[in-house]
Amino acid sequence: MFNVLLTTDNGATDHYLFNRCHQIAWALGGSELGKENIFTGTLSCNLTMRLFEESIWDFLDTAKDDHVLYRVTPVFKGDELIPRGVLLEAYAVETKGLFIDFCQYVFNAQPGFEIDYTTGDVSLSLG
């Protein structure tokens, strides 16, 4: 497996295709160093997960007496080393899901690239 440096719209080359993604963000109680909380994810997957995490952070910042059940499940096919995506589930307990209630699948893919999830090899997408 190797990593690809991505060029952003403004020409910067400071983002990599593969990221060290946390299943549960540190700010939501996940382990920063625990290897059981880390998976290889694409930049797109990582940024999309962050949007959902931020919705939980914002909610908990305003609803200090509420709790959120949050689960992240990486989805593998067969003996693949890299997950094809992650299933994000969240539910605000005391408000009975009024403000936080989602079950969202996030693809572990990157536009313009094809990923071999067994080896981590990448190639440019021709389609």
Helix (H) or strand (E) holding 97: none
Q: Do 6 and 28 contact (CB within 8 A), yes or no? A: no
Q: What is the pLDDT along the chain (127 residues), one digit of tens a residue?
A: 556 766 666 555 567 889 889 998 878 877 766 778 899 999 999 999 999 999 999 999 999 899 999 999 999 999 999 999 999 999 999 999 999 999 999 999 999 899 999 999 998 887 6
Class of 5-124 in CATH: alpha beta
pTM to 2 decimals?
0.86
Predicted local confidence at residue 27, as pLDDT: 80
Predicted local confidence at residue 88, as pLDDT: 98
Residue 106 burial class via C-beta count within 10 angstroms: exposed 0-12, middle 13-18, buried 19 and up: buried
Q: How far is CA 106 from the centre of its chain?
A: 7
